Amino acid sequence: MSLTERIILVSNRGPVQYGRENGERTTNRGAGGLVTALSGLSSQLQDGVWVCAAMSDEDVVVARESPEGLCPPELGHDDLRVRLVALDPAAQDDFYTVIANPLLWFIQHHLYDLKTGPNITRREIEAFESGYAAVNRRFAEVVVEEVNKAGGDATVMLHDYHFYLLPAEVRRQCPDVVLHHFVHIPWPDPDAWRVLPPPMRDALFRGLLGNDVIGFHTEGYARNFLLGCQELLHLPVDLSAMEVVIDGRVVRARWYPISIDPEAFEAMAESPEVLDQERELAARRRDHLLLRVDRTDPSKNIVRGFMAYDLLLQDHPELAERITFLALLQPSRQDVPEYAAYVERIQTIVDDVNRKHGTGDWHPIELHLKDDLDLAVAAYKQFDVLMVNAMFDGMNLVAKESILVNRRDGVLALSENTGAHEELGAFAVTLHPFDIQQQADAIHEALTMPVEERRGRRDACVKVVQQNDVAKWLQMQLADISRAAAE
């Protein structure tokens, strides 16, 4: 086995999503942290194909027109092919809305209240087989085709919780290919997996163990994975080498904190669209701007964040009319019932807080429920405090993007349960996601911190983000892939 120039990237959501407006095809950037990171990665690949699911109706049309994939000019790389995989709609629905989100996502972010869920019924068992496993098999077929096109000599880089069964399937058909999987979300302790029936959880672990290297954001997640192999599958695990042996093969668990492309992001922060939004924001801002930018995902802990803000306003009446909490929330996974209900809870608490504390033309919370990257970046530049209070979050790239381009000596208020806290926690104000009073007090501390201290903390964060950039994230993985291949 050797590392070749041919890289096959696999992720559920791709770098672009097609639509149709007034009879014309439109192209949008895909959503979420994974796409942000992989877009940086793709600029470093010389010859590659990015395999991803056709998500919109227009994606399906594009997949039919170009079954081998195409190079979208928006990505700016002539030699990066994007290959959209059209799926059976019922299978895709079960895969995404029953198994991947919520089941796997909820387990991995500790979102279940075990008194009430999950309830595994025939519906879930069937969705696992005819949705999750079927989609994984279909993607495996495409990957095997691409490996064969490369003469069997390729490195496959798989991404995230959508494809835990895929590696073992590819391994079965292409025993010598190099398989690397990066898990972008937390990996919980072995007991968290016990909510799944043994055949299901064993299949997920064994599927993932088809890889040569499995990457996580933190050492803790990597260790949890190996402990799961030991306790649930009774496999021999070496926690000092961070390896597990299965069917005579060594599988390595590694950690690489994901990041951003600082130069590209700085350039975007100076684009005319962002500057326009920033001017507008600067003109209407009050003394203090508290900001959050998130998908409307329960793991982001948005409701508790507003509860903390309610307490802050109660405890500090001097802030009245002098502060705005700008919440830029991108609607996410609205076809999953838990996510739709969460948006309703967000709207209710925003109305309550605004009614309780608002005066005249002052709305204590300004809520935007839409995807507006230019506005988000403009707000990154203008915030005084950024709130990231996620219950659990694999990394959280908003923390890295926003502190990099902030122009007001802004302070990060960062949950201790984010991967980002491992790198930036020393320079942030730490938030305890379930302690609402602590969050209110910490936000107050951040708002009233002397400017020199704020500047020192921000400079330190920026240095970390610049040093540990997405190029380093990729290099570390490629180095481990080469090592694994050489062995």
How would you class 341 by CB atoms within 10 Å of its CB: exposed for 0-12, middle for 13-18, buried for 19 or more?
exposed
CB of 472 to ligand G6P, least distance (A): 20
Pick the stretch among 31-39, 145-153, 173-181, 274-282 that binds ligand G6P (CB under 6 A): 31-39
Are 355 and 403 contacting, i.e. CB atoms less than 8 angstroms apart?
Answer: no
> CB of residue 290 vs ligand G6P: minimum separation in angstroms?
23
Among positions 79-108, residues that touch ligand G6P (CB under 6 A) are 101
The residues in 180-219 that bind ligand G6P, with binding defined as CB under 6 A, are 184-185
**Could you give the CA distance from residue 431 to residue 467 in angstroms, rounded to a whole number?**
25
Closest by Cα among 142, 222, 150 to 182? 222
For ligand G6P, the closer of residues 143 and 440 by Cβ is 143
Residue closer to ligand G6P (CB basis): 29 or 483? 29
Stretch that binds ligand G6P, among 32-40, 127-135, 246-254, 316-324 (CB under 6 A): 32-40
| Segment interacting with ligand G6P, rule: CB under 6 A, options 30-38, 236-244, 382-390, 402-410 | 30-38
Minimum distance, C-beta of residue 125 to ligand G6P, in the bound complex (Å): 22
Site string for ligand G6P, 314-343 (x = CB under 6 A): ------------------xx----------
Which one, 157 or 484, has the nearer CB to ligand G6P?
Answer: 157
Q: Name the phi and psi angles at 219, rounded to 5.
A: -65, -35
Instruction: Output helix, strand, coil percentages for the chain, rounded to the nearest 5.
Output: 50, 20, 30
The amino acid at residue 207 is G
* Residue from 1, 31, 86, 233 binding ligand G6P (CB under 6 A): 31
Buried-state track 191-228, b at ≥16 Cβ within 10 A, e below 16: ebbebbeeebbebbbbbbbbbbbbbbbbeebbbbbbbb
The owner of tokens 């949950």 is 415
How far apart, in whole angstroms, are the C-alpha atoms of residue 325 and residue 389?
14
**In this chain, which stretch among 27-35, 192-200, 245-253, 472-480 interacts with ligand G6P, using CB under 6 A?**
27-35
CA distance 156 to 177: 8
Stretch that binds ligand G6P, among 1-9, 25-33, 74-82, 219-227 (CB under 6 A): 25-33
Number of H-type helices and E-type strands within the chain: 19, 17
**Interface pick for ligand G6P out of 3, 8, 10, 34 (rule CB under 6 A):** 34
Contact stretch for ligand G6P (CB under 6 A) within 28-36, 150-158, 347-355, 368-376: 28-36
Q: How far is the CB of 96 from ligand G6P (least distance, A)?
A: 7
**Is 395 in contact with 298 (CB distance < 8 Å)?**
no
Q: How far is the CB of 31 from ligand G6P (least distance, A)?
A: 5
Site string for ligand G6P, 1-20 (x = CB under 6 A): ------------x-------
Which one, 154 or 185, has the nearer CB to ligand G6P?
185
Applying CB under 6 A, which of residues 160, 169, 212, 393 lies at the interface with ligand G6P?
Answer: 160
User: In the bound complex, which residue of the shown chain has the CB atom lying closest to ligand G6P?
Assistant: 32
Q: Nearest Cα to 72, choosing from 149, 133, 15?
A: 15
Q: Which residue's CB is nearer to ligand G6P, number 56 or number 230? A: 56
At residue 70, φ and ψ (nearest 5 deg) are: -150, 165
Start-to-end CA span in the chain (Å): 8
Number of residues that bind ligand G6P (CB under 6 A): 11
Stretch that binds ligand G6P, among 26-34, 134-142, 143-151, 227-235 (CB under 6 A): 26-34
Contact between 252 and ligand G6P per CB under 6 A: no
Q: How far is the CB of 89 from ligand G6P (least distance, A)?
A: 16
Residue 401, class by beta-carbon neighbours within 10 Å (0-12 exposed, 13-18 middle, 19+ buried)? buried
Please give the full DSSP string across 411-464, using - where no structure is assigned. Answer: EEEEETTBTHHHHHGGGSEEE-TT-HHHHHHHHHHHHTS-HHHHHHHHHHHHHH
Residue 62 near residue 94, CB atoms below 8 Å = no
List 14, 15, 16, 33, residue binding ligand G6P (CB under 6 A): 33
- The residue among 201, 203, 94, 217 whose CA lies nearest residue 159 is 217
Q: What residues line the site for ligand G6P (CB under 6 A)?
A: 13, 31-34, 101, 160, 184-185, 332-333
